[in-house]
Amino acid sequence: MLAIGGVFIAILLVFIELGFFIAVPQGGMLVYDHLRFDLLLCSKNYAFQAEPWQFPRTRLTDAAKAPGISQVTPLFFAGAKWQEPKGGDRLDAFVIGFDPAAKPFAVTDIERQTATLAQPDTVLVDDATRSLFGPLAASTEVLLDNHKVTIGGDYTLGTGFLGMAVAIMNETNFFRLFAPRTADIVNLGLITLTPGTDLETAAATLSKALPDDVQVFTRDGVKHHEDKYWTTRTSVGLIFGSGLIISFIVGIMVLYQTLATQISRHLPQFATLKAIGYGHHYLAAVVMIEAAMIVLVAFVPAAVAALAIYAQLRSATLLPVVLTTQRLIAVLVITLLMSAASAFLSLSNLRRADPADVF
Amino acid sequence: MTTALDAPSRYLPRFHGVPLAWRNLFANKRRLLRSSAGIAFAALLMMVQLGFEQGFFDASLSAVRALDGDLFVFSAYKYRFGTRDPIEHGELDRVRAVGSIASAEPLYADWQEFFWTSPIDRKPYLVRIFAFDPDAPAVFSLSGIKDQQTLLKNDDAVLVDRNARAFLGMDGTAKEAELNGQRVEIAGGFTLGPDFMSDGTVVMSDRLFAKLLPGNQDSVANLPIEAVVIKLRSGEAVSAVQSALRAALPNTSSVMTKAEIVDFERKFQEELSSAGPIFWLGAIVGFVVGMLISYQVIYTDLSDQLPQYATLKAIGYKTSYLVRSVLRQAALSGLAGYVPAWLLCIAAYRIIGAFALLPLHMTLHLTVLTLGLTLGMCLLAAVLAVRRVISADPAEIF
């Protein structure tokens, strides 16, 4: 029972570290996952979503003329100081301007509130906006860069890695707020293709047709880019990567400890088996099987506990941290490998099982 | 009344005669190695996780810690130091009008508008900027900045953070680079390191800042002042001057000492960053794993030695003596695991710190904290396991 408890903790540790490790890049993709596009047009200087740089809108209108393009729509990003009208801290909020008619957001809360967005100086706020930004109820007034705006309502998407608060507004309101900025310079361009158009061909055609101050990403391409940015350019990936490695090592230690204890405890029995003629290989096989069985028995509750923890992680971060079958099998294989490694390590104890010594 | 059985100490050897815990620990070298390896990994896990937590805070505090002043004035609307929220220009004159002040210098800073074209891939990346008058008294105590601030008098000269993230190309031999599309000369470097928000830092003169800041029209007088760095005349009481400044300034300005500004920044990080709980969770897992390993070791050891313990009991040693011996043994095995873990951790901090550019250091605080946790987990495991010794009945065992 104790052995299983130890292995349970070891497997759970692997699950938790894995959860963090996969959650991090997904934070960078959260908003993209809720945008409608087949191809993403962005500056060649694009760093990551919250630092996309900018490019002339004409690139987007030119792109629209290419064959197979169904719709293009720009997104405008800005940072604004958010303050409650009664005073208090001026906090940093991330603001997105867009054309609601183009329906770039695949978020029902946003589509439902298109009429609200049309009202002057009205914003919708992400309900994951941190509590320190004050009440977010509809018709609350706040100051954005010292302009009074009204919160028209909220939506559930998640702030991802955009910041502590995200507000969205229609283009007209956006440019009134951020005057003298104009719609001639855009941050991102969302391109949808007509059904049946080949994705890769369209991407290649577009990037050839457009000047090299912009680049074209497919959805997979942007995912790859964001993953790479967060796991290699920031310390986040390294920290959780090293956590994952440490969790493996600790797991092996616990398993080895458990198995070695089991063997030394049953040394007389093993010695007896040896004495009555069972070979070392047979006994080794018994240890291996025992190791595998301990892992299997501990794996089930660990997976269940991991499901609960992932659910917590999901509701806390709104990131799609999911325990897919693939990941489940991966962890199972890894723990079986860990148990094989530790069983192998503990076999040396078995060699000592000398019937003459034990009794 | 004293009988022989009540006071076995009269004729039984005491601990100082036979170091029972010590001998038990070393009786089985193989097991000692195994158990200390297990405990060492658990301790290492706690050290690394808590080190990360501390490193994250240190990274975000490094800039404010590098400031060189007795008092600082900045906007009361700031929720953290590292965000743009300038004070009114008139405030600087009000500050300077207060007596007891040796110097009051404006610090200009920006986090959102300066793009550094990396010499490596020619792409622009957002960087953090600090700017000040190079002829005025130093506003940073960081040696690389303080000692080289005269270099900033040259046109277009900047100092760069040699510890910035590698992709910015600030660590290399590049003599010049581009900031906001204009050529700048890299006159020297300092070591600060990145934080959550910024990948790298560039320090420049107020004149160059005025030239490069978008929409500023090259005028130093109109620059947004992010903070005023104040040094007092020697012998002046900081708190008295702080009160005088508060009285002289409107309540839209905060006046803080260096310790207060560091606390202010730390509080923001603690409230808003999820890094703390994540690393504490990791440390707790390490603790539990270590406790399980330790329990298993002690339990097995006690099971193996149960006849011996029962014998000791039968010849009159008190249970409390045996329990103490078990606890002592647990503490010793904790130490045996802790010491190699501590040494390994220093190596781990070096390697991870160099890759992640996090200031990971084995501080006294971390040493004491993790030692306490390691001993705690071993002793807790021993307390749980020792029940076996307490219940060891000589009559049953033989």
More confident residue, B17 or B140: B140
Does residue A50 sit in helix, strand or coil? coil
Token match 């007509």: residue? A194
* Confidence (pLDDT) at B397: 64
Residues 6+ positions from B142 with CB-CB distance below 8 Å: B66, B190, B191, B192
Does residue B82 sit in helix, strand or coil? coil
* Confidence (pLDDT) at B200: 93
Chain B residues touching residue A89 (CB < 8 angstroms): 77-79
C-alpha span between B194 and B63 (Å, rounded)? 9
Q: What is the pLDDT of residues A32-65, one digit of tens each?
A: 999 999 999 999 989 899 999 999 999 999 999 9
More confident residue, A103 or A352: A103
* Confidence (pLDDT) at B68: 94
How close A262 comes to chain B (CA, Å)? 9
Q: What average pLDDT does this structure show over B93-115?
A: 93
Instruction: Pick A249's closest partner by Cβ from B41, B295, B355.
Output: B41
How close A69 comes to chain B (CA, Å)? 29
- State whether A13 and B289 contact (CB < 8 Å): yes
- State whether B38 and A16 contact (CB < 8 Å): no
Q: What average pLDDT does this structure show over A225-242?
A: 80
* Confidence (pLDDT) at B96: 93
- State whether B167 and A6 contact (CB < 8 Å): no
* Confidence (pLDDT) at A320: 74
- State whether A90 and B357 contact (CB < 8 Å): no
More confident residue, B275 or A223: A223
Q: How confident is the model at residue A72 (pLDDT cuts 50, 70, 90)?
A: very high
C-alpha dihedral (B265, B271, B274, B275), degrees to nearest 10: 40
Q: How far is CA A76 from CA A54, A205, B278, in A?
A: 9, 25, 33
- State whether A20 and B278 contact (CB < 8 Å): yes
Query: Would the pLDDT of A272 be above 80?
Result: yes
Q: What percent of chain A clears pLDDT 70, i.e. is strictly above it?
A: 96
Chain B residues touching residue A146 (CB < 8 angstroms): none
* Confidence (pLDDT) at B31: 76
Chain A residues touching residue B75 (CB < 8 angstroms): 90
Q: What are the DSSP E strand ranges found in B28-148?
A: 71-75, 101-110, 115-117, 124-126, 128-132
Which chain B residue has the Cα nearest residue A84? B77
As given in the structure block, the two tokens for residue B317 are 């040693």
Q: What is the pLDDT of residues A179-203, one digit of tens each?
A: 889 999 999 999 999 999 999 999 9
Is the CB of residue A80 less than 8 Å from the CB of residue A181?
A: no
* Confidence (pLDDT) at B281: 75
C-alpha span between B312 and B21 (Å, rounded)? 14
Neighbours of B205 (CB within 10 A): 25
- State whether A246 and B45 contact (CB < 8 Å): yes
Chain B residues touching residue A130 (CB < 8 angstroms): 272
C-alpha span between B14 and B387 (Å, rounded)? 22
This prediction's pTM: 0.81
As given in the structure block, the two tokens for residue B367 are 């040493």
- State whether A257 and B293 contact (CB < 8 Å): yes
Comparing CA positions, the residue from A88, A117, A90 lying closest to residue A101 is: A117
Comparing CA positions, the residue from A70, A72, A67, A80 lying closest to residue A55 is: A72
- State whether B79 and A90 contact (CB < 8 Å): yes
Q: What average pLDDT does this structure show over B151-160?
A: 95
As given in the structure block, the two tokens for residue A289 are 């099987």
* Confidence (pLDDT) at A242: 74
**H/E segment holding residue B183:** strand B182-190
- Amino acid letter at B268? F
Which chain B residue has the Cα nearest residue A132? B272
How close A93 comes to chain B (CA, Å)? 11
Which chain B residue has the Cα nearest residue A238? B356
Give me the DSSP letters along A153-203: EEE-S--TTS-S-EEEEEHHHHHHHTTT--TTEESEEEEEEPTT--HHHHH
- State whether A89 and B299 contact (CB < 8 Å): no
* Confidence (pLDDT) at B389: 75
Chain A residues touching residue B58 (CB < 8 angstroms): none
Comparing CA positions, the residue from B153, B172, B151, B150 lying closest to residue B161 is: B172
- State whether A257 and B124 contact (CB < 8 Å): no
* Confidence (pLDDT) at B133: 96
More confident residue, B307 or B367: B367
- State whether B352 and A13 contact (CB < 8 Å): no
* Confidence (pLDDT) at A1: 64
Which chain A residue has the Cα nearest residue B385? A2
Which chain B residue has the Cα nearest residue A316? B274
Query: Would the pLDDT of A100 be above 90?
Result: yes
Chain A residues touching residue B78 (CB < 8 angstroms): 89-90
- State whether B281 and A13 contact (CB < 8 Å): no
Is the CB of residue B233 less than 8 Å from the CB of residue B70?
A: no
- State whether A53 and B52 contact (CB < 8 Å): no
Does residue A79 sit in helix, strand or coil? strand
* Average predicted confidence (pLDDT) for chain B: 87
Comparing CA positions, the residue from A205, A210, A182 lying closest to residue A193 is: A205
Q: How far is CA B42 from CA A84, A117, A240, B334, B378, in A?
A: 47, 54, 17, 10, 11
Query: Would the pLDDT of A267 be above 80?
Result: no
Residue from B29, B45, B302 whose CB has the most chain A CBs within 10 Å, to mutate: B45
Q: What is the pLDDT of residues B191-231, one digit of tens each?
A: 998 887 889 999 999 999 999 998 877 788 889 999 999 99
Q: What percent of chain B clears pLDDT 90, i.e. is strictly above it?
A: 49
Q: What is the pLDDT of residues A138-178, one digit of tens each?
A: 999 999 999 999 999 999 998 888 888 999 999 999 999 99
**H/E segment holding residue B244:** helix B238-248
- State whether B79 and A51 contact (CB < 8 Å): no
Q: What is the pLDDT of residues B332-382, one digit of tens each?
A: 989 999 999 999 999 989 988 887 778 888 999 999 999 999 999 999 999
Q: What average pLDDT does this structure show over B79-105?
A: 91
* Confidence (pLDDT) at A151: 97
* Confidence (pLDDT) at B238: 94
Which chain A residue has the Cα nearest residue B254? A89
Chain A residues touching residue B48 (CB < 8 angstroms): 242-243, 246
* Confidence (pLDDT) at A255: 74
Q: How confident is the model at residue B3 (pLDDT cuts 50, 70, 90)?
A: very low
* Average predicted confidence (pLDDT) for chain A: 88
Q: What average pLDDT does this structure show over B36-47?
A: 86
Chain B residues touching residue A254 (CB < 8 angstroms): 38, 289, 292-293
Residue from A233, A234, A239, A256 whose CB has the most chain B CBs within 10 Å, to mutate: A239
- Amino acid letter at A115? A
Query: Would the pLDDT of B2 be above 50?
Result: no
Q: What is the pLDDT of residues A283-307, one digit of tens each?
A: 888 888 888 888 889 899 999 999 9
* Confidence (pLDDT) at B138: 93
* Confidence (pLDDT) at B1: 43
- State whether A45 and B124 contact (CB < 8 Å): yes
Q: What percent of chain A clears pLDDT 90, i.e. is strictly above it?
A: 50
Comparing CA positions, the residue from A28, A134, A332, A261 lying closest to residue B28 is: A261
Instruction: Pick A253's closest partner by Cβ from B41, B295, B358.
Output: B41
Q: What is the pLDDT of residues B48-88, one digit of tens each?
A: 888 988 888 888 899 999 999 999 999 999 999 989 999 98
* Confidence (pLDDT) at B259: 95
How close B214 comes to chain A (CA, Å)? 13
- State whether A45 and B281 contact (CB < 8 Å): no
More confident residue, A326 or B30: A326
Q: How confident is the model at residue B4 (pLDDT cuts 50, 70, 90)?
A: very low
Question: Is the reported ipTM for this assembly greater than 0.85?
Answer: no
* Confidence (pLDDT) at B370: 94
Chain A residues touching residue B355 (CB < 8 angstroms): 238
- State whether A256 and B292 contact (CB < 8 Å): no
A&B contacts, CB < 8 Å: 110
Q: What average pLDDT does this structure show over A93-103?
A: 96
Which chain A residue has the Cα nearest residue B122? A45
Burial B360-369 (b: 16+ CB within 10 A, else e): bebeeebeeb
For chain B, domain boundaries: 10-61+274-397, 88-251
- State whether B126 and A265 contact (CB < 8 Å): no
**H/E segment holding residue A17:** helix A2-29
**The pairing of beta strand B176-179 with beta strand B182-190:** antiparallel
More confident residue, B81 or B6: B81
* Confidence (pLDDT) at A276: 87
* Confidence (pLDDT) at B261: 95
- State whether B303 and A254 contact (CB < 8 Å): no
